[in-house]
Structure 1
Amino acid sequence: MARLFNQGLIVEAETLSKSLTTRFPKHGFGWKVLGAVYQAQQRYADSLHATRHAIALLPNDAATYNNLGTSFLCLERIDEAEANFKKALAIAPDYAKALSNLGNLLKKQGKLHQAETCCRRALEIEPRYANAHVNLGNTLLMQDRLSEAQTCYRAALTITPAAANIHSNLLYCLSHDVTIEPQQLFAEHVAFGEQFEAPLRAGWQAHNNDKDPARCLQVGFVS
């Protein structure tokens, strides 16, 4: 069941975890996976319900508290999210995911130095944890420490090179860096397009627009 979830087979994991919670309602693992499945589906209220069942049965499981905190955070229930991340860390002080998530929460609260400390500690424990690199990068970006933020995003991309959202964060950061040469900024955007846009070109619909290079163009600006 956990293997299905980790492989991204969310529907299959949901079916199996639901079956397990029906057959063995006092078995916490089934509720834990079901809560994680609902979270992956952005069904956060359902995730809270299932994960609370899991915590009642697994009161010393740090990962379950972390999952509960994540759902609370996605619902912008900040105080409850913080309490659960801290419960996870009280059980497992070196739990990198909870440290990174707490760092992300502290960043949202504007507690940037505390957020940075949490993210750096997470990376000391798990150097190849991409989300911690991203959360640290976002925290540094909010402090206008653009060069350091870029280093974090690039580190995350070495771990998860197919993550378009991380690459997008990098481009946003580069766009605000006055020390970046226009040619480099353009090249970075072209590279993004080649990686994420090119595979979709075959599915583009044809347009009957006038391709005369001398035609008058209508240009719109979006803020």
Structure 2
Amino acid sequence: MTSLPLVLLHAFPFDSRMWDGVRDLLKPITFDQRGGDRSPDLVVIADDVVAMLDERGIERAVLGGCSMGGYVAMAVLRRAPERVAGLVLADTRAGADTDEARANRLGMAARVAAEGVGWVPDAVLAGLLGPAPDAAVFGRARELVLGQDPAEVAWAQRAMAVRPDSTDVLAAADVPALVLVGEHDALTPPPLARELAGVLRRGEYVELAGVGHLTPLEAPEAFASAVLGWRRRVGV
């Protein structure tokens, strides 16, 4: 049974279009995570997720996220655990930023605020995608990044910089969970993903071959197949 709604939360610095490749198979609910003029804290996006569930009359959903989207899923779990029936955590981590990572985020936020996003693809995509990305995938990723509002990119970096460690929240979650990671993910590599799966009471681990940090964008069919297979096995 896979009757529960699946909500998928996108990575940084993208929008909900990063899920286009998995829509036909997974039929997810997606939306653009936007901070606007609110205080930079992922809690406000978590509250948006809960409000969206309320608007649709959804009591419980399977909640999935890639990278930053995973952080948002953890924030929802912290705020409203009763709304989460299962978790899909792709290329993400439970821990808070180190001082160095936090400083890098704030530095990027300041530069984007001052210069816009034109420089961002050249700065980040090599580290996000696998070692030999398909030209079409690279082009699509570049297009999505360049289409972002600089103010929102800066907001997201500032919000991620202050997120708390969520290890305790995940360890307490008694719901089925799938941890997905790309074989060549340099930001949240497979050993870290296996550790994350071990934190979860009912966690499963899947590694997707040949890809990096953006598994649903780089390998949408493999990603969707892994999620569908897991949902059928665990019944959510």
| Larger radius of gyration between Structure 1 and Structure 2 | 1
Tell me which protein shows more helix as a share of its residues.
1
TM range (shorter): under 0.3
Q: TM-score, normalised by structure 2?
A: 0.24
Q: Relative CO higher for 1 or 2, CA cutoff 8 Å, sep ≥ 6?
A: 2
Q: TM-score, normalised by structure 1?
A: 0.24
Tell me which protein shows more strand as a share of its residues.
2
